[in-house]
């Protein structure tokens, strides 16, 4: 853009996608668009297989202990809410400190503010 390379993943909400991603998404929608783990027909089995192969690749890439540690969400907001409202809700105790930075996207501030209020914890801002 304007003679400079595009930076991908520059926004929590959405970002430009490399052409390879667009091409693969197009192939998916044209060839194997089906609900995974829901159908016993060929296209659904292909979609399930591709998703599970992707889960295995991600697991290896980040050196996860198990493929079961890999959870796909539709976006960053859903992912942080899942962490905040499942794991953190059961782990926070009164007086605990939640660290946030001024660089956080709004979607990564609100759940922690709500949890802080529920559990009487402190939020500290990293400069």
pLDDT digits (tens, 9 = 90+) for 70-92: 999 988 889 999 999 999 999 99
> By CB neighbour count within 10 A (0-12 exposed, 13-18 middle, 19+ buried), where does 60 fall?
exposed
Q: Which of 119, 60, 56, 49 is nearest to 84 (CA)?
A: 119
Tally of domains in the chain? 2
Same domain, 110 and 80: yes
Domain span including residue 116: 76-126
Whether 24 is covered by a domain: the verdict is yes
Same domain, 80 and 119: yes
Taking the whole predicted model, whether its pTM rises above 0.85 is answered as no
pLDDT digits (tens, 9 = 90+) for 93-119: 999 999 999 888 888 999 999 999 999
């Amino acid at each position: 853009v304007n003679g400079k390379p595009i930076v991908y993943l520059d926004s929590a909400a959405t970002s430009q996608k490399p052409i390879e991603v667009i091409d693969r998404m197009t192939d998916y929608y044209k060839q194997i668009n089906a609900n995974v783990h829901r159908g016993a027909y060929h296209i659904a089995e292909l979609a399930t297989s591709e998703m599970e192969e992707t889960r295995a690749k991600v697991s290896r890439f980040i050196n996860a202990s198990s493929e079961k540690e890999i959870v796909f969400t539709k976006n960053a907001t859903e992912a942080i809410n899942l962490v905040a409202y499942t794991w953190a809700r059961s782990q926070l105790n009164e007086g605990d400190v939640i660290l946030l930075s001024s660089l956080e996207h709004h979607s990564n501030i609100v759940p922690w503010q709500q949890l802080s209020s529920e559990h009487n914890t402190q939020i500290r801002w990293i400069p």
